[in-house]
């Protein structure tokens, strides 16, 4: 199924702003009387809407609560971290919508109008903070503006408050399926809805076509896989560090890091040694790294197993590296050698520690202390000046807490 340009824009937007996503885990059904059969039916209609695509059950918390007004319902929901409020009575008016604007972490679903015509929705629907709903041809006359429309799933009739819960359930399902915000799910629902035998004077978007919304969004996401830019390995101290980056991620749960030991015939299989969480959905470059501090000497292969949120996976290319345990210090032959009268002595330090570098003559007498102090990991060089010494053989001795290195050099005048 082809996805239209508007939906492409919507999906691209939620890919780039996925940091605002919030899984729907707490839903509040707010009524005037509390635990009545009417409010319970509103609750059940939410569950029916959530499961209407593929039978997936809403897995989290949904509660009934008594609130004297929609205003108090929004405030209570915000204080107790509910993401959705489904108001089971009265109609949505401008004053309620203005209150909803002050609580952006809560999305309010309300009937568009009351049966008494007292509350009549006249909102600018595309910019409304709350969602106005309607059910059945008869109930449309009670409210002028309806964002989404649905036949009541409980009685298959015109009780708009039951429809209210059903529509909320559909949008919550989209938010949780794609790990996006409710407002992003609402936009996808708008772009996959249709006005079907409903007066366009009343209905802005119409019935949500949940199957089309899922199919279209899945098609778009599948067209944008996780793009791995690079994957490299290098030795650092007594560890191996892996680096990789992505230029685009869609539905990316994360990366299993796997290692294969080429020299170990007994355990010659790929082994998971770690996991790095992915960015989910992103069209920005992301950088990742992993340090393998359980490695011993030998030849190794590494690969990444990229896993999406649905459990699908694919493997990266393999990279190979030879690892030998690094010595804590290393001392290189001086240059030039023989020398007259100066020469350069180079050395490396792996860990931050005290280093002593001395020069001795051929009978073991100390000639000069070149260095005594704390060195940070890195490469260093010292200049030895033998202008005041006689020609002959001299020795450089480099010491750390755990190792001693020596080299022989010749002063030739």
What is the distance between the alpha carbons of residues 413 and 28, in angstroms, rounded to a whole number? 93
**21 has a pLDDT exceeding 50:** no
Residues whose CB falls within 8 Å of the CB of residue 160, separated by 6 or more in sequence, listed in order: 111, 112, 113, 133, 134, 135, 136, 139, 142, 152
**33 has a pLDDT exceeding 80:** no
CATH code at 244?
2.60.40.10
Question: Tokens 């050099």 — which residue?
Answer: 409
Among 283, 273, 278, 274, which Cα is nearest to 253's? 278
Among 42, 17, 308, 47, which Cα is nearest to 183's? 17
- Residue 245 has a pLDDT of 86
CATH code at 17?
3.40.50.200
pLDDT (tens digit per residue) in 115-154: 666 667 888 898 999 999 887 655 555 566 889 988 778 8
- Residue 297 has a pLDDT of 73
CATH code at 350?
2.60.40.1930
Q: Same structural domain for residues 217 and 311?
A: no
- Length of the chain counted residue by residue: 413
Other Cβ atoms within 10 Å of 358 Cβ, number? 17
Question: Tokens 């050698």 — which residue?
Answer: 337
Domain end marker among 295, 323, 351: 323
What is the distance between the alpha carbons of residues 131 and 171, in angstroms, rounded to a whole number? 11
pLDDT (tens digit per residue) in 250-284: 888 999 999 988 766 555 578 999 999 998 888 78
Q: Which two tokens stand for residue 137?
A: 């041809």
- Residue 8 has a pLDDT of 46
Rounded mean pLDDT of 171-188?
90
Classify the C-alpha dihedral 112-114-116-122 as positive or negative. Answer: negative
**3 has a pLDDT exceeding 70:** no
What is the distance between the alpha carbons of residues 124 and 254, in angstroms, rounded to a whole number? 41
Rounded mean pLDDT of 173-185?
89
Which string of DSSP letters, residue by residue, matches 304-359? EEEEETTS-EEE---EEEEE-PPPSEEEPPPBSSSBSSEEEEEEEESSSEEEEEEE
Among 359, 363, 356, which Cα is nearest to 388's? 359
Judge contact between 10 and 184, C-beta under 8 A. Answer: yes
Question: 18 versus 118: which is more confidently predicted?
Answer: 118
**371 has a pLDDT exceeding 80:** yes
Q: Same structural domain for residues 174 and 285?
A: no
Domain end marker among 308, 323, 338: 323
Q: Same structural domain for residues 196 and 216?
A: yes
Q: Same structural domain for residues 271 and 346?
A: no
Q: Same structural domain for residues 243 and 273?
A: yes
Rounded mean pLDDT of 192-209?
81
- Residue 355 has a pLDDT of 94
What is the distance between the alpha carbons of residues 359 and 369, in angstroms, rounded to a whole number? 6
pLDDT (tens digit per residue) in 48-72: 999 999 999 999 999 999 998 999 9
Angle (nearest 5°) at CA 168 between 147 and 16? 85
Q: Same structural domain for residues 53 and 173?
A: yes
β 319-323/286-292 pair status: unpaired
User: pLDDT band for position 180 (50/70/90)?
Assistant: confident
Domain end marker among 260, 292, 323: 323
Rounded mean pLDDT of 207-214?
93
Question: Tokens 């199957």 — which residue?
Answer: 211
Q: Same structural domain for residues 192 and 251?
A: no
Residues linked to residue 111 through DSSP beta bridges, in sequence order: 133
**395 has a pLDDT exceeding 80:** yes
- Residue 267 has a pLDDT of 52
Residues linked to residue 72 through DSSP beta bridges, in sequence order: none
Among 66, 57, 189, 184, which Cα is nearest to 133's? 189
Question: 228 versus 340: which is more confidently predicted?
Answer: 340
Give percent of the chain above pLDDT 90. Answer: 43
Domain extent, residue 297, equals 227-323
Q: Same structural domain for residues 232 and 138?
A: no
Q: Same structural domain for residues 82 and 196?
A: yes
As for how many domains the chain has, the answer is 3
Q: Same structural domain for residues 269 and 385?
A: no
Rounded mean pLDDT of 369-376?
93
- Residue 35 has a pLDDT of 62
pLDDT (tens digit per residue) in 309-349: 878 888 888 888 877 655 678 888 898 989 999 999 999 88
Q: Which two tokens stand for residue 144?
A: 């002028």
Question: 288 versus 329: which is more confidently predicted?
Answer: 288
Question: 342 versus 227: which is more confidently predicted?
Answer: 342
- What phi, psi does 135 have (nearest 5°)? -140, 130
HSE, CB side, 13 Å, CA atoms: give it for residue 5.
Answer: 0
Q: Which residues of 179-209 are buried (b: 16+ CB within 10 A; e: fewer)?
A: bbbbbbbbbbbbbbbeeeebeeebbbbbbbb
If DSSP codes are grouped into helix, strand and coil, which group holds residue 32? Answer: coil
Q: Same structural domain for residues 246 and 198?
A: no
pLDDT (tens digit per residue) in 93-106: 888 999 999 999 99
- Residue 54 has a pLDDT of 92
User: pLDDT band for position 16 (50/70/90)?
Assistant: very low
Q: Same structural domain for residues 93 and 197?
A: yes
């Amino acid at each position: 199924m082809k996805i239209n340009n508007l939906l492409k824009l919507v999906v691209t937007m939620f890919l780039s702003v996925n940091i605002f996503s919030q899984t729907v885990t707490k839903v509040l059904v707010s009524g005037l009387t509390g635990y009545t059969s009417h409010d319970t039916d509103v609750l059940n209609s939410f569950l029916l809407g959530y499961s209407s695509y593929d039978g997936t059950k809403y897995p989290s918390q949904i509660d009934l609560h008594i609130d004297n007004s929609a205003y108090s319902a929004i405030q209570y929901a915000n204080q107790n971290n509910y993401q959705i409020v489904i108001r089971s009575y009265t109609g949505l008016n401008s004053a309620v919508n203005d209150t909803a604007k002050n609580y952006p972490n809560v999305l309010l679903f309300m009937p568009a109008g009351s049966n008494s015509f007292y509350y009549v929705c006249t909102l600018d629907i595309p910019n409304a903070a709350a969602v106005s709903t309607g059910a059945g041809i008869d109930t449309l006359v009670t409210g002028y503006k309806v964002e989404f429309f649905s036949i009541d799933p409980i009685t298959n009739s015109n009780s708009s408050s039951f429809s209210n819960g059903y529509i909320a359930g559909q949008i919550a399902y989209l938010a949780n399926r794609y790990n996006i915000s409710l407002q992003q799910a609402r936009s996808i629902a708008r772009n996959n809805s249709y006005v079907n035998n409903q007066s366009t004077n009343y209905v802005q978007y119409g019935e949500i076509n949940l199957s089309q919304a899922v199919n279209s969004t899945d098609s778009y996401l599948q067209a944008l896989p996780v793009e791995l830019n690079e994957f490299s390995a290098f030795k650092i101290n007594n560890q191996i560090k892996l680096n990789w980056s992505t230029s685009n991620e869609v539905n990316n749960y994360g990366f299993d890091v796997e290692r294969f030991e080429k020299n170990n015939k007994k355990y010659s299989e790929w082994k998971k040694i770690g996991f790095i969480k992915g960015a989910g959905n992103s069209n920005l470059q992301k950088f990742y790294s992993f340090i393998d501090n359980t490695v011993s000497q030998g030849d190794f292969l590494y690969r990444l197993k990229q896993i999406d949120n649905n459990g699908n996976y694919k493997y990266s290319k393999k990279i190979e590296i030879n690892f030998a345990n690094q010595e804590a210090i290393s001392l290189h032959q001086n240059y030039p050698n023989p020398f007259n009268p100066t020469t350069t002595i180079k050395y490396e330090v792996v860990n931050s520690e005290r280093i002593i570098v001395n020069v001795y003559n051929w009978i073991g007498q100390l000639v000069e202390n070149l260095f005594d102090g704390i060195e940070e990991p890195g490469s260093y060089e010292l200049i030895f000046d033998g202008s005041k010494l006689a020609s002959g053989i001299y020795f450089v001795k480099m010491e750390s807490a755990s190792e001693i290195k020596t080299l022989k050099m010749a002063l030739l005048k």
